[in-house]
Chain A
Amino acid sequence: MTHSIFHNIPLELTHPPSEIKDRILIKLHKHVITIWSRCTLTEYGTDIPPLNGSTSIRGMKKFLQCIDNEPWISEVYQTSASISILLRDFQEGKALAVSDGSFYEEFKVGAAAWKIQSNNRLEFISGGRIIPGHPDAQSSFRSELGGLVGIGMVAMALATSTASSPILDLGCDGASALLRYNLPSLKVSCSMKDYNIISILSKIWDKSTAKVNAIEVRGHQDDLGRALTVMETMNVDMDNMAKTIALDAITKERKIPSAIKSHRNMQVLIIENRTIHSQLRKTIYTAITTQNLRQYMVKEQLLRQADLRTISWIAFEHAKSKVLPKMQIFITKVLSNTLPVGLVMTKRQHRWSSKYPRCSQMGESTGHICWDKGASNTWEANMIILSTWMNKVHTEPSLALAITDILRMWQKRPSHVQSTLEATAIPSQIEGLLQQDDIGWMQFIQGFLHEDLVLVQSNYYKEIHSQKTGKRWATNLIKKLWEVMHSMWKHRNDILHESDIINTLSGQDFLEISIQHELDRGRENLRSLFTPYFLIPLAVLLAKTSPKNQRKWFLLIKSARERKGTDIQDEFSTNNTLRKWIGLKTTHS
């Protein structure tokens, strides 16, 4: 603390003072000021150093990384010993640029490479890198766009540092990516696929003084044995470079950044550690509703939390999108446990008994339509169809056999499934089948396949050099399993609705007893209008009248008695399910 005292007579300054040293706080007395707190700046923050455009590759790299704050553009830089001819050609619009992307679908890794070279092919600048983003968001389109951004940034840097505005010939073998390379910013929207890279491209070309003459180059022409054009040669080089970068990342298992760090891109969102940069509104909506649905499945114990990570959701989603709306609705009902089986119908008060129509076992559940012992023949017929189909699509033979054997055993004796599995499966598949067993075979029928099973089939297709994919196999298998389930459901419905069982389950026995009681009572104090109804003999009413007409007869008499207040207390007086079936008004109790 200082002990200096200052006059309290201020003098206004026309310019900010230059001799400032410390920040202080003062105490004001009548005519004087004293300093009571003081602090000197001891640690300066880092001022951004002034940056100049440079023609050297090091300077340009720094230029790209600092001025434009786009450090993600390239990880690998290569350049010729000198770039003076390249710069001259660039200024004169004679330089050539090519970019290419490479995408490994299996590993979900994409990389891009780009090159700008002088007209005499001697001088060049090239670069490339892995494309950031969630593995599921990677695609060849995204990789191509990544390469175009590399070219765009370098072209902008060269144009800035040479103070020129040339037209650059730009070659790319991705026609769809070329359509997006310099969209006016007004046309860029977050409903586009990979809108974050497209928005960067748009800003780059908006700002850049260089312009582009886009040329679609034919890719992979090196196998044809003909002389290649300059652009085609550059494309082959860049294709190889992008592949090298991607394979390097795959073999070294490098961590791929989940998002692009750029000040130019349209903002992205992160859902469950996954960056969303395509079709934003639709993706947000789908992600939220899907997440809620899966959590509900876990809550209702259809699946376990751990299963959510191991199920092949892609196969499930493909299958659901490929089937007819009728099947889509059926599967939704199965999964949500709202299929009108006995338990559901009694809960909704639409049926008196929850018995299964064939075996008369109480508590018919969704699973029961498959487990029914009386439906073994139908199940067996379905298994034969399934087995034939699996052979047709070249399913790994022992896997096909194991699946049908397990499903046969699951239908007969679910408790014996594990022993069947161990007896049938060969060692290379047992792990996958055990994993599926862990998820459940009812879940298997419902379309929840473990990813390991898909992998087993995928590897088999590779072994036999087939062009088919495990994902497609899984999709079709799910569709077949749903057909099996639907066929069992139809079989059950045929039994229920093509006989009188539905009436029995709805309360026909009670109806007959009540009809007998009403006939025994006679008309009593009901109006004479009802006399003909009581003249019908009991035998005719019960044996020769259809159940529907029996219900109508009873509805008439019962409601008339209720209006008169002379009805007798029976099952139809209190049970709402029976009352609904007859057509009587339900009671609140």
Chain B
Amino acid sequence: MQEALNEWVNWMEVTGGAIAPHKSWWYLVDYKWKRGKWICTNAGANLSLTAKDDTGEKSTLQYLNNDVASKMLGIYMTPDSNNITQIQHMRKQATDWASKLSCSSISKSEAWTALHCTIPMKLKYPGPACTLTKAQCQFVMAPVNKIGLTRSGISSTLPSAFRVGPIISGGAGVLDLYTDTRSGTLTYLIDQIWHQTSSGSLANGIRENLVIEAGVTGLIWDYEFSLLKQWIVTDTLLLHTWEFAFNAGLHLDIHHAQIHLSRQFDAPLMITFAKMRQGRDMRALNKVRLYHDVTTIADISTADGTQIDPTFLSSGQSTSRRNDFKWPEKHEIKPADLALWRKAIKSLCALQLHLSVPLERWKTRQSDWTLNWNWFSSTTADKIFHQNKDGIWTDYAIKEGR
């Protein structure tokens, strides 16, 4: 890190620039799995970074903990994505505006104009970059609503539907910060994805990770958010945006790479577990599924589709090649999780490991036949081949045939 920083400072020097150490800070963030969630931790507390300033002297840069906010482009942000400082800042802006309005001798129509044209723009700006909740938005807007409406000649107890309803539809047209923030984020994501910018690529990656974590086939937006939220644990801007869209009755028509069912009567494991759910911990089941790198019943069944492959019931991670996805970092698996997984898998079976609904014909294209499987027999039946996860092939000669 120090080398990278040095190089960057040197490059700046070439262009005639230098960094101001008193305006610079750094974070080092790590994520740990804690109580069923990824938690942001401080990884650089014992480290220090130095950089040359404009006089050529080396100074130590300020290290900040991941819950300490720093102002960037007018927005207070923290690596652990707590919005406390930003909310306080926005609330202060709202309170200042309200107190100025209440002390001023402006007319009702001037107050009405101020309510629609001044403070909303200020509060809207950081919106798409933050994931403020509905309650946080209400907290920020409270002084604006109370004073702004009263000074405009409207009761501050105006029902919220009328308060934020568009003027042309019969409402007062006051800013609904939550809806505006989330619709801004959604619009931004769509825009960036289409333009294939670096943010768009990042959003694509997050979207595909979300699909893998959810373990569902087809478009993820076609599922009920509340169902999938039972086992999705990675907190992302995309997840919050989807939640907003789902609750607002918006159907996202955003395409993404999809997981396909590979056999007739195949089904996604998590959806099957959810249907059969009897108070099971879906997060634990999903942890084990991700541990084995599998998504559908076909992934954990035998080649003929009649039984469960017992290797997926063992405590060790499966070495079988069933897909070519890039899987996220493994969660910590506890014995209780494995026990739950085995129980859930057995509920798919009628007798021992025989599936209640055997899988039938493959839907795979001929050209893809060798892609997502690890053991094959030869056309002459005198050899078997093995393909490991890295795509390296080995063959085994026949000893005796009967």
Contact = CB atoms under 8 A, between A and B. Distances in A.
B168 A321 contact: yes
B399 A289 contact: no
Interface stretch (B84-92, B134-142, B187-195): B187-195
The residue in A263, A266, A272, A316 that gathers the most chain B C-beta atoms within 10 A of its C-beta is A266
A284 B303 CA distance: 48
Given A13-B393, A44-B366, A267-B255, A199 B194 contact: yes
B158 A270 contact: no
Given A7-B396, A10-B386, A21 B377 contact: yes
Nearest to A313: B169
A331 B170 contact: yes
9 contacts: A13-B393, A44-B366, A280-B187, A284-B250, A288-B250, A296-B165, A313-B169, A332-B154, A348-B157
B376 A21 contact: yes
Interface of B: 108-109, 112-113, 152-155, 157-159, 161-162, 164-172, 176, 179-180, 183-184, 186-187, 190-191, 193-195, 245, 248-255, 302-307, 309, 361-370, 373, 375-381, 383-387, 392-402
Nearest to A331: B170
B295 to A, nearest CB: 17
Nearest to A45: B365
B376 A185 contact: no
Interface of A: 2-13, 15-17, 19-26, 32-33, 35-39, 41-47, 185-186, 188-191, 199, 259, 263, 266-272, 275, 280-281, 284-286, 288-297, 313, 316-318, 320-321, 325-326, 328-329, 331-333, 335-336, 338, 340, 348
Contact of B253 (A186, A267, A320): A267
The residue in B154, B168, B245 that gathers the most chain A C-beta atoms within 10 A of its C-beta is B168
B233 to A, nearest CB: 26
Given A24-B377, A288-B248, A293-B166, 8 more contacts: A5-B399, A12-B394, A17-B376, A22-B377, A296-B159, A296-B165, A333-B154, A348-B155
B183 A6 contact: no
Nearest to A279: B187
A191 B183 CA distance: 12
A254 B392 CA distance: 56
B394 A47 contact: no
A21 B368 CA distance: 12
Contacts of B367: 47
B364 A39 contact: no
A13 B395 contact: yes
Contacts of B394: 10-13
A271 B250 contact: yes
B184 A6 contact: no
Contact of A329 (B152, B184, B194, B245): B152
The residue in A281, A325, A331 that gathers the most chain B C-beta atoms within 10 A of its C-beta is A281
Contacts of B250: 269-271, 284, 288
A320 B249 contact: no
Contact of A281 (B172, B184, B361): B184
Contacts of A259: 253
Contacts, number: 265
Contacts of A46: 365
A24 B253 contact: no
Contacts of A24: 303, 375-377, 384
A4 B378 contact: no
B161 A293 contact: yes
A17 B395 CA distance: 9
Contacts of A290: 165-166, 169
Contact of A20 (B307, B368, B370): B370
Nearest to B195: A185
A495 B386 CA distance: 96
B357 to A, nearest CB: 16
A45 B253 contact: no
A292 B377 contact: no
B222 to A, nearest CB: 11
Nearest to B370: A20
Q: Which 6 A-B pairs have the closest CB atoms?
A: A293-B165, A296-B161, A37-B302, A10-B394, A284-B183, A270-B251
Contact of A16 (B190, B370, B396): B370
A294 B169 contact: yes
Nearest to B391: A16
The residue in B195, B255, B303 that gathers the most chain A C-beta atoms within 10 A of its C-beta is B303
A44 to B, nearest CB: 5
Contacts of A325: 109, 112-113
The residue in B166, B184, B366, B383 that gathers the most chain A C-beta atoms within 10 A of its C-beta is B166
A142 B98 CA distance: 44
B289 to A, nearest CB: 20
B266 to A, nearest CB: 13
A403 to B, nearest CB: 22
Nearest to A13: B393
A189 B191 contact: yes
A321 B162 contact: no
A389 B378 CA distance: 91
A5 B179 contact: no
B87 to A, nearest CB: 21
B172 A39 contact: no
B376 A4 contact: no
A6 B161 contact: no
Given A189-B191, A328-B167, A336-B158, A4 B393 contact: no
A11 B395 contact: yes
Contact of A288 (B168, B179, B387): B179
A336 B168 contact: no
B396 A8 contact: yes
A4 B161 contact: no
Contact of B366 (A47, A267, A272): A47
Contacts of A6: 383-384, 396-399
A97 to B, nearest CB: 26
B133 to A, nearest CB: 16
Contacts of B384: 6, 24, 26, 33, 35
Contact of B187 (A35, A281, A295, A348): A281
Nearest to A276: B250
